[in-house]
Amino acid sequence: MRHWGVYMAALVVAGCSGPTPTSGMRRSASLSASVQSGLVPPVVFNTQMRSELEFPACASESQGHAQIKILEDGTIEAAVTINNKGGESVRFGHIHHLPPGQASGPIIWWLTTPVGVNLKLTEEHIDLQHEGVFVANPHFATAELALAELLSDPSSFYVNFHSDVCPGGFARGFLP
């Protein structure tokens, strides 16, 4: 019975308070919406990058791990760790699309910047974090089309890192 009285008192206080300004409600609603959108979990893909998955084959001792995170707004974030056992000069990395029946595919997103620049990374342990940069191509005219395909068929995409020793790629990993 005591809890019922507290409940009634809360209703009376709420009913006696003045009207809430509508502008405050709008701000509160948009703040709530922005907080809510930040709570939507990203789509995350993890892949192990290995030389034996490369085509054409290239003998490399280096390998790595890539985590590709797709945020609600379509932004692609990549976190890559490379164990550069062979001491290769790492040039750059990408996400490629593999068309059916092909051994290699076109670059869809650059995972290193500046785009097109040889990074010449030779450390034994390399950590990279980057936002993917879309590359328009004959397969996908827009980032939205590429993203739709990535989300519907992630296994047709792979992460690939290139080096001076293996210009076509020394470590490849398919998205699950």
The predicted pLDDT at position 67 comes to: 98
The predicted pLDDT at position 1 comes to: 44
The predicted pLDDT at position 38 comes to: 58
> Contact 149/156 with Cβ under 8 angstroms?
yes
The predicted pLDDT at position 16 comes to: 39
Distance of CA 136 to CAs 65, 95, 110, Å?
Answer: 26, 13, 11
| Structure-block tokens of residue 55 | 């085509």
The predicted pLDDT at position 37 comes to: 52
The predicted pLDDT at position 111 comes to: 96
Q: Give CATH for domain 43-174.
A: 2.60.40
Domain boundaries, the chain: 2-39, 43-174
Q: What does pLDDT average to in each consecutive run of 10 residues of the chain (176 residues)?
A: 38 37 34 50 96 91 96 96 94 96 95 93 96 92 96 97 95 96
The predicted pLDDT at position 20 comes to: 35
Distance of CA 58 to CAs 55, 82, 170, Å?
Answer: 8, 16, 6
